[in-house]
A and B are shown apart, each in its own frame.
Chain A
């Protein structure tokens, strides 16, 4: 299947700093990418839908100013966690849709720990 990468795979940062996570579709163009958050032993929670060249659509309860999403090209979307706090510590996963038949491929995830 198609490959989606995320960078970094793991990041530890101090409270108050900002962290950028990249999501790339390596061998296909993705018009739509999704950002998820997953807490231990819980299912994925959709944070936002990212479309190339337009503003992201955020799910209810997700702070747009805290979780900045930029879908700069058909192969790259970034999630920036601004002024991170310990409660932002989580596993962040992106996915990308590859054209027809619109199959969704997931990245390996980024584990964020905020001290």
Chain B
């Protein structure tokens, strides 16, 4: 079993829909990242969380440390949100900042 699991692996939505991507992890962490990667493109860091909730535009990220779970929400989804969303955690035992990555969730938003 992977240390970081994302669900769903693939997601298709209609424009305007509310989207949730989930991330569960099995290690103690000091931080969790949500990353976005467009096809053929580089990676953008959306959020870094260690507790609670963060919001940026239409994106909301939450984390529950006790349950070892995080969610990324996209409100009023748009075709330009189509991308791979990656959850990555930094283990408390890592003194280098090394991240453990989930397998990613491929999101397609149709107009």
Contacts and interface: CB of A to CB of B under 8 A. Distances in A.
Contact of B102 (A34, A43, A101, A104): A43
Interface in A48-104: 49, 57, 93, 95, 97, 101-104
Interface stretch (B21-29, B37-45, B65-73, B74-82): B37-45
A106 B98 contact: no
A57 B96 contact: yes
Contact of B98 (A34, A101, A107, A108): A34
B99 interface: yes
A44 interface: yes
B45 A103 contact: yes
Interface centre among B31, B40, B98, B102 (most CB of A within 10 A): B98
Contact of A32 (B33, B86, B96): B96
Interface string A27-41: 000001010000000
Interface of A is mostly: strand
Contacts, number: 51
A interface, size bucket:
20 to 34
Interface string B92-110: 0000111101111000000
Contacts of A108: 41-42
Nearest to B96: A49
B104 A43 contact: yes
A6 to B, nearest CB: 8
16 contacts: A6-B42, A34-B98, A34-B99, A44-B43, A44-B86, A49-B98, A93-B42, A102-B90, A104-B33, A104-B45, A104-B90, A104-B97, A106-B45, A107-B42, A109-B41, A109-B43
